[in-house]
Amino acid sequence: MAMVLAAFLACSFLSTSSQYIYSKEKTCCSIYGETMLQIRELLIQQERIQKSVDSLRQTVQSLEDDETKTHKDIQIVKKCLVDCQDLYMYTTGPKQSGVYTIYPFGNETRLKVYCNMETEDGGWTAIQRRSSGSVGFKRTWAEYKKGFGNPAESYWIGNDVIHQLTNGRNSTLYVYITLKNGTTMYERYHHFSVSGESDNYRLYLGGPATGTLGDVILDTGRSSLNLSWMSFSTLDRDHDKWDNNDWLDSDNCAAIHGRGGGWWYNWCSYANLNGPWSSSDWYMPWNPPLEYGDDITGTLMMIKHN
């Protein structure tokens, strides 16, 4: 009997202990299960976040690629802007006169020029501009070929560029002269082009000529002073038609008549906008009305294709 009672008590103890252990394990499993569910949710959220991050990275990369392509496209388009007229027609933003960058040769050769964006619908490229005597125009053939000066004030764009801008294009030449009293006069020629260096930058100019200055280049009354079809001359390259002048030390119009200023001369000319700045030595800048250039405070020669 005693053995049966001992066995019963032992079983009872084992049963109670097992129940306690099971209860503790159940509680731990329950807590562990909830924790695992939370971890699983966190992992799912992390996976979603990672996918969003990857998607954003792809979007950013795509935008960067688009920006790079757009930048390249802009650079390509810019190189198609060969003159101020292209800038006026194909770019946005305010159209104000000032210094702009053009690509006259359609490649990496960029050029700063002065653009007139107001006169007659704008888009005029200044090939010559003088607003002070800070830039001398007594220059060599090589300098007139390449160009010189500062387009923000006074400059010659360069004969190679003038040829490039007018070659195969029907262009208009607009000439401005400003006097000390503020008077501005102009003359417009509806046909203008210049040949290449192999032809000595020959001038081709045609009418009708209209304006307030008057025509002293085409309809001069003397064929020996008509400048159309004349080659360009400088103090070191004489291509004018003036010769056999024993009473002068030189028969070079650029050296004598122009005081070193390069221009298109015949038997010299009634017009020369590249003489000594605002001086009585500036002979016949535009005669008539200007026999001497001491009253001039500004000149501007600009072109636009028709």
Q: Say if residue 301's pLDDT is above 70.
A: yes
Is 230 found in the same domain as 105? yes
- Residues 201-224 have a mean pLDDT of 93
Asked if 124 and 115 touch (Cβ cutoff 8 Å), the reply is yes
Q: Which of 248, 246, 258 is CA-nearest to residue 282?
A: 258
Is 218 found in the same domain as 287? yes
Rg for the chain (alpha carbons), in Å?
42
Q: What is the pLDDT of residue 305?
A: 94
Q: Which of 165, 167, 16 is CA-nearest to residue 84?
A: 165
Is 287 found in the same domain as 141? yes
Is 152 found in the same domain as 300? yes
HSE at residue 252, side-chain half, CA atoms within 13 A, is 17
pLDDT band at 51 (very low <50, low <70, confident <90, very high): confident
Amino acid (one-letter) located at 212: T
Above pLDDT 90, what percent of the chain? 62
Q: Which of 141, 144, 196, 142 is CA-nearest to residue 165?
A: 196
Q: What is the pLDDT of residue 223?
A: 87
> Which structural domain range is residue 23 located in?
1-78
Q: What is the pLDDT of residue 9?
A: 39
Secondary structure (3-state) at 293: coil
Is 60 found in the same domain as 139? no
- Residues 204-212 have a mean pLDDT of 95
Is 173 found in the same domain as 67? no
Domain count, the chain: 2
Is 58 found in the same domain as 110? no
- Residues 239-259 have a mean pLDDT of 78
For the entire predicted model, the pTM comes to 0.75
CATH of the domain at 208: 3.90.215.10
Strands (E), 146-228: 148-150, 154-156, 171-179, 184-194, 203-211
Is 167 found in the same domain as 69? no
- Residues 104-108 have a mean pLDDT of 86
**Residue after which a domain boundary falls, among 60, 78, 96:** 78
Is 14 found in the same domain as 98? no
**Residue after which a domain boundary falls, among 78, 104, 139:** 78
Among 63-77, 86-100, 287-301, where is mean pLDDT lowest? Answer: 63-77
- Residues 133-160 have a mean pLDDT of 97
Which residues, in sequence order, are bridge partners of residue 296?
Answer: 179
**Residue after which a domain boundary falls, among 50, 78, 106:** 78
Asked if 279 and 260 touch (Cβ cutoff 8 Å), the reply is no
Asked if 231 and 239 touch (Cβ cutoff 8 Å), the reply is yes
Is 74 found in the same domain as 92? no
- Residues 132-146 have a mean pLDDT of 97
Is 130 found in the same domain as 7? no
Is 89 found in the same domain as 50? no
Asked if 129 and 274 touch (Cβ cutoff 8 Å), the reply is no
